[in-house]
Structure formats: structure tokens, C-alpha cells
Amino acid sequence: MNSNDNRMHGVLTGLILALMLATLPAAAQIDAPNIFLRRGMLWNSYNYAKTGAPFTNWTRINYGLDWPGFDPEWINASLGGSPSYLTTGGMWFAAPSPYDSAKIWIEDWAMYGSSVGPTGQTRYRVTKHTKRWPQGENYWLQADPREAEEVIESEWIPNPSYVPQYPGDEPMPLRVTRTVRQWAGAQRHENFIIVQYVIRNTSDTMTIRGAYSMLMYGIAGNARAWRTLFPGLNAGARNNRFNYEPTGVRARMMYGYADNTPLTTRFVKYGLDSLGGPTGYGEYLAPGWAGFKLLYATPDTVYRTPTYPPPDRRSIRTVWAAAPDQQDLYGPFGTASAGTQLRYQIIKDPTQAAESFTSPFDSRMAQRRIWSLMSLGPWTIRPGDSVVIAVGEFVGGISYNNAVDSAYVRDASRIGSETPVILRNMSSAMQQAYDNQFNVPDPPAAPRYTVKMNPDPTKINNIIEWTDEAEAILDPDYPPGDTAAADLAGYRVYRSSYLPIGPWKLIADIKKGDAIYKAGTLYSYEDVDAVLGIPYYYAVTSYDNGHPSWPPRTTNNFIETGSNRVPPLESSIYASLYAHSSVDPNYVVRPFRTTQPPRETLDKNAVFVSPNPFVLRSGSGTPDDKARVQFFNMPSPCTIRIYTIRGDLVRTIHHTQPDGIVTWNFQTDYGQFIVSGIYVYHIETPEGESITGKIGIVR
């Protein structure tokens, strides 16, 4: 450009930025940099402009398509970390500068996302990044029945305070609105999240030509399995195999799964840990198939022309790119020397990416970290026009019950045959959710429940209670006067004695209004099979019996029924268990230990310790419960002192809880674990009663 062009360039840039400054909201709605979805089975996090935290060489930073989601911090035992299937994700957006076609605008909203932030140091200023209902106000669609249960809204615009660092570093005149939606309360919909981008040209005069978007996801399934099976290798699973289906029942889906790998001679498909699980006889740590599905993209410029009918077609280019085994700083762009022109060409045509390939049978599969890339465009975006891109992020697979089932452990082919059907159904549900403007068929609301000890000293069981308040919540897809709106048919009670993700056992199916379990407005169920001293997780779900049709769209055919008949729906087990932790990040989900009322006195003939002797793995229940002993038939309050056989004090436990069981986790008063040996315990009450005994421990 000549000097006059440069001056005009500066004037136009100033006008655009001034306009953006004038339209800034008075008070931005910005939460923390990362907002979490952690209510149902699928957990994820969203940064200002991208999915997940900023990329750190494939290291798991926080929730990234965790499935089934849970916090390892809830479990006082080493499980290998979180089951995260995603390292980073989102999109790149690029276009030549209208001022000078030799200069390219490149925006990273997929890897680091560093161009978007709340301060004046970034090209784009985030003006909104918040949950629409931060306290779960729309759980069970109580606030807006035509929306998702959870919605994250983010928006960023050019930052008028930003000082460009080099020619072409100016922000594009774009207002980007990203809306994230999840229906975590429904088993049918809890394993996918829909992310929609609306990219609007806010200039009054400037037309953006040759714009492309490249969806980019670093799927590595999963962090827990990789860390457990390959502790000597760096982060980012290298045993993933990927596929892309352009058409059919899983159309426009890119997904991957953990496969066997030349990196080891062991059978590690689906993350098989041959010594894992509640019984120690095997567990698939990574049974899920994770990926993304293109739900919609604005028709591109090429296919809008009469040369390429019909007008709703769009160019889609899908590629995988192998990442370096050690240090990956630049993703599919390879090195720092990849300038804006080369990056633009890669975003436009990902086959030009470093170590790119298109065959799912490429030798780099199952032994390298792999980027999944999908390019869209080109678009010509005139002033006031927008490009819309919608993506479904998902993990699907067999249940955790099956992941620890010996029949599946012996035959991995069952996962390979069942999961494609699960993905087919999910693909249909995702597409319908988007096409129906985010209205989906809803299961009945689940009740809030409590678990307590049976106060009857002659009974050792747990009591699960809930009211009938959920029965008053009507299905918003049916008119209030229609009997179909009150569709809650019954409740199911589930129990897990291992982890908050299962395996779950259905222990009761209670029909609405069943007089055996309901008195007044209160339902009560006694878990008579609960074992004294064993901790359990409980969940209570609601279900309906389906409907003959779905009024919001009578032409909608559900894949389960092949017609407009709505299949029976059930609320999420996980949304039931995680009801409190989903709105309170400090809430810790703990199991309920089956206990007994405290004894009135210290009875040496009644008190006993179990297991005694303790031998490694002789414990039962949750993972952290396998390394502890329990004192039964205890009074409260009382004090237990534990000594070595030589008389050295190891631990003092002051028991004040209103129950008759005390647990010792083999730690000293200083948090150190004891060694194997014989230990002496001394129990004393405030009244001066005392007894002494011995515990044998082999760890």
C-alpha cells in the first residue's frame, strides 16, 4: 500500500474501533475464565473463547469432556486422575485483510484463545461470559421450557484499547456470540453439548471475503487411562484411532477411541486395566468414543453460486494431523515459523497441516497424539451479515456397569459392536435438538432426596426419602390441562458401593403414589440389603412411559421408535447425585456409610473391629474404604487411642458423631501411613469406662 492507503487504513481502523467502544455494555457479565458444566454424566469447561483451558502440551488442566464425570478429589484413593477425553477444542477463523490481501487475519479460538480476554491487552474484549442460570434455575426447565437446562453465553468484540503489535494484528470487525447448551438432567441427552457460534460483521462498510473456519479438537481418550497404563510417557493419549463419517446415521461426526498400540504388547484397547474395577478383575478405563459433530454451518460462498447447486450445500474438508511426541506448541501448524499466509492456507485446506493425513488406517493412528480438523468456508461476509456454525461435542459408549462387567472384560468386541449404535442414536438426538431450536422431549423432574440411618436399633439399613414435589412439575411440551403433561410414572432408586459413577444397581422401582412407600406427601424406601459399615452412593430418578406424539413438532421422527411417538424417558442418575455439587463447586459428593445408633455404654462384649486382621484388599466398598478398619457398637462420645506394640501413641480419634461406628484409615496423627504389624487400641468414655484390644494389619 502507498502512504495514502496507509492513512486511509488507519482512519478506517479508528472508526471501526470507535464504533465498538461506543457499543460496549455498561457492565460486562463475566464470570471466571473457565466456566464448568458438571451436573450430569458429561462434564466440560469453557474458556472465554474456546472449549477447555488454554492448551498446555496435551496436559489435562481441568474438565475436558470428562466421562463419566466425577472429581477424583472426592475419593481418598489414587484412581489415575480424571477421565478427560479432550485436551482442547474450538475453532480457528481467518480471512485476508480487506486493506491488503497480502495481510491475513488469523484468530485462535481453539488452542490458546489468548486473543480474547477482559482487559486491554487482548485484540478482543470479552463482554459476556456467564451462565444464564448460575444456580440451576432452569433445571427441569423451570425457567424457560424452550431452552436447554444449562446455557453458557459468551461474547467478544474488537478491543478499542488494543495496540496492534505488527501489520495485520488489528482485530477483525466481528462480534462473536458463542452459546453453549446442555441437557444434563436427561439420560437421553446428557452425553452431548451443543456449541453455537454467530460471527457477525459489525462494520458499516467493510466486506470480509475469503473467510474460513477450521474446527480443531485435541481428543485423547482418556487422561485417566493413559496415566494408569502408560505412567512413563508424557501427557496426551497416543493410542487413539479416529474416524469420520460424512453421511449416514452418524453424518459429519469425527470421533476417536482408545485402541491397542505398538507402544506396548499388552491388550489396552478401550483402556483395559486388567487389575482394575471393584473386584480387581478388570475395568475399561476409556470405553467412550469421543468427538464432535457438525450440526450446521452457513452455506459457503462457493456452493451458493449456480455452478454448485443446491444452495444449502457446504464445503467440508476433514483431516487428522499427528502431533510431536514430546513438545507440541503449535498444533497442526507445526512450528513458530508458520506465518499467517501458511496458517491461512492450512485453515483453508487442512491437508497442508504438518503431518496431516486423511486415512483412518494411517500408520500414525494408535501411536501418536492426533489433532482432528474440519475446515469450513469460504464465506463472503457483508456488513451486518453473520456466519453461524453449530457443533455437538460428545462422548458416547457403554455404561460403567458394563465397563467393569467380566463379560465385557473378556470380550472387547462387544464395545465395538454396541457403541456405533449408541453414537447413531446420539447423532440423531443432537441434530434434532438443534433443528428443533433447542427444544427436546423431556423426562420428568427428579426429586430431591435424603439418605439417613434407620433410627430403629433393631434394624440395620439405610432409609432414602423424598417428597412428591416433582409430580407437580408438568411436562412443558403438553398443554397444562392435558393429562399427558403430568407424565411422571414412577421413581427408580439406584445404589453404588464403589464410585459415584457406579457401577449402579437398580434396587427399587416405585410407581407414583404407591401406598407401600408413600405416606402423605413423603416417599420412603428402606435399603434392607445395605451392609453394616459399608458406604453407598444413592440416586433417585423419575421416569415416564413415553407419549403417542410430540406436539412441538409432529413431523419429528425419533430414532428409537421410528415415528413421532416419544420413547420412555428417564432422568439422569448423575444429575440426581450431583444436584448440589453442580451449583456449588466446593460441595463434596460422599457416600453414605451404613451405620447404627450409638450404644449407651461401652460394652466389651459388643465392640469389635473389622476386618481384623486387615490384609491388603480385604477391605470392601469404595476404593478409599479398602484401606481402613472400623470399630462397631461404639458409644458416643468416646476416645480411641491406637498404639504400637511397644506403646508408642500412633493415633487419637475423638468420636462425637451420633452413630455407633468409628473408622480408622491407617494414618497417624501426623498424616503418615503406618507399617504392617500388631497395634493396640484403647477405648475410653467420659464416664471412665474403657476396653483394650489388638488389631493385626498387613499392608
Alpha carbons 118 and 124: distance in angstroms, whole number: 8
| Residues linked to residue 694 through DSSP beta bridges, in sequence order | 680
Strands of 449-453's sheet in order across: 449-453, 462-467, 522-527, 518-519
Q: Which three cell numbers stand for residue 693?
A: 484390644
- pLDDT of 279 reads 87
Alpha carbons 340 and 285: distance in angstroms, whole number: 40
Is pLDDT at 305 greater than 70 in this prediction? Answer: no
Within a 10 A sphere around the Cβ of 312, how many other Cβ atoms? 9
Rounded to an integer, the average pLDDT of 298-321 is 64
Alpha carbons 424 and 421: distance in angstroms, whole number: 5
Name the pLDDT band for 332 (thresholds 50, 70, 90): very high
Alpha carbons 470 and 89: distance in angstroms, whole number: 37
Is pLDDT at 315 greater than 80 in this prediction? Answer: no
Alpha carbons 97 and 177: distance in angstroms, whole number: 22
Name the pLDDT band for 17 (thresholds 50, 70, 90): very low
- pLDDT of 621 reads 64
- pLDDT of 316 reads 86
- pLDDT of 309 reads 37
Q: For residue 403, give every residue at least 6 positions away whose Cβ sits within 8 Å of its Cβ, in sequence order, or none.
A: 277, 283, 284, 285, 287
**Chain Cα centroid distance, residue 191:** 8
Alpha carbons 282 and 406: distance in angstroms, whole number: 7
- pLDDT of 439 reads 96
Q: For residue 569, give every residue at least 6 positions away whose Cβ sits within 8 Å of its Cβ, in sequence order, or none.
A: 186, 187, 188, 441, 442, 443, 444, 543, 544, 546
Name the pLDDT band for 617 (thresholds 50, 70, 90): low
Question: Domain 608-698 in CATH: superfamily?
Answer: Macroglobulin (MG2) domain (2.60.40.1930)
pLDDT in tens, 197-221: 999 999 999 999 999 999 999 999 9
Q: What is the 3-state secondary structure (H, E, C) of 510-547?
A: EECCCCCCEECCEEEEEECCCCCCCEEEEEEEEECCCE
Rounded to an integer, the average pLDDT of 353-364 is 96
Q: Which three cell numbers stand for residue 401?
A: 456397569
- pLDDT of 625 reads 67
**Torsion-angle region of residue 331: left (phi > 0), alpha (psi -120 to 50) or beta?**
left
- pLDDT of 312 reads 45
Name the pLDDT band for 306 (thresholds 50, 70, 90): very low
Predicted model pTM: 0.90
Alpha carbons 272 and 285: distance in angstroms, whole number: 6
Rounded to an integer, the average pLDDT of 377-384 is 95
> What percent of the chain has a predicted confidence (pLDDT) above 90?
82
Alpha carbons 677 and 697: distance in angstroms, whole number: 5
| Residues linked to residue 156 through DSSP beta bridges, in sequence order | 126, 176
User: What beta strand segments (E) does 76-172 contain?
Assistant: 86-96, 104-109, 116-117, 124-131, 150-158
Q: For residue 182, give every residue at least 6 positions away whose Cβ sits within 8 Å of its Cβ, in sequence order, or none.
A: 37, 39, 40, 42, 148, 149, 150, 190, 192, 193, 194
Name the pLDDT band for 519 (thresholds 50, 70, 90): very high
User: What beta strand segments (E) does 325-385 contain?
Assistant: 356-357, 370-381
Is pLDDT at 281 greater than 50 in this prediction? Answer: yes
Kind and range of the H or E run holding 325: none
Can the peptide bond before residue 222 be classed as cis, meaning omega within 30 degrees of 0?
A: yes
Greater model confidence, 388 or 10: 388
- pLDDT of 4 reads 43
Rounded to an integer, the average pLDDT of 131-154 is 96
Name the pLDDT band for 30 (thresholds 50, 70, 90): very high
Alpha carbons 668 and 632: distance in angstroms, whole number: 20
25-39, 70-84, 638-652, range with greatest mean pLDDT: 638-652
Is pLDDT at 8 greater than 60 in this prediction? Answer: no
User: What beta strand segments (E) does 202-247 contain?
Assistant: 208-219, 240-245
Q: For residue 420, give every residue at least 6 positions away whose Cβ sits within 8 Å of its Cβ, in sequence order, or none.
A: 250
- pLDDT of 78 reads 80
Q: Which residue has the cell 460486562?
A: 28
pLDDT in tens, 523-533: 999 999 999 98
Least confident span in 621-635, 645-659, 670-684: 621-635
Residue 490: which of 441, 558, 548, 443 has the closest Cα? 443
Residue 69: which of 574, 616, 483 has the closest Cα? 574
pLDDT in tens, 476-490: 999 988 999 999 999
Angle at 186 between CA 87 and CA 154, to 5 degrees: 50
Alpha carbons 551 and 441: distance in angstroms, whole number: 10
Rounded to an integer, the average pLDDT of 525-553 is 96
pLDDT in tens, 391-438: 999 999 999 999 999 999 999 999 999 999 999 999 999 999 999 999
Alpha carbons 285 and 83: distance in angstroms, whole number: 8
Q: For residue 73, give every residue at least 6 positions away whose Cβ sits within 8 Å of its Cβ, in sequence order, or none.
A: 588
Q: For residue 208, give every residue at least 6 positions away whose Cβ sits within 8 Å of its Cβ, in sequence order, or none.
A: 95, 98, 172, 173, 201, 379, 380, 381
- pLDDT of 262 reads 96
- pLDDT of 564 reads 97
Q: Give me the residue spans of the domains in the chain.
A: 3-435, 449-592, 608-698
Domains 449-592 and 608-698 share a fold: yes
Alpha carbons 697 and 694: distance in angstroms, whole number: 10
Q: For residue 5, give every residue at least 6 positions away whose Cβ sits within 8 Å of its Cβ, in sequence order, or none.
A: 99, 100
Rounded to an integer, the average pLDDT of 448-475 is 94
Kindly report the average pLDDT of the chain as a whole number.
91
SS3 of 402, please?
helix
Rounded to an integer, the average pLDDT of 456-470 is 93
| Residues linked to residue 631 through DSSP beta bridges, in sequence order | 609, 662
| Residues found in the chain | 699
User: What beta strand segments (E) does 382-520 contain?
Assistant: 386-396, 449-453, 462-467, 490-496, 505-511, 518-519
Angle at 696 between CA 690 and CA 698, to 5 degrees: 150
- pLDDT of 302 reads 63
Burial class (CB in 10 A: 0-12, 13-18, 19+), 63: buried
Alpha carbons 486 and 440: distance in angstroms, whole number: 17
Name the pLDDT band for 628 (thresholds 50, 70, 90): confident
Name the pLDDT band for 522 (thresholds 50, 70, 90): very high
SS3 of 320, please?
strand
Rounded to an integer, the average pLDDT of 359-375 is 97
Question: Domain 449-592 in CATH: superfamily?
Answer: Immunoglobulins (2.60.40.10)
Is pLDDT at 310 greater than 80 in this prediction? Answer: no
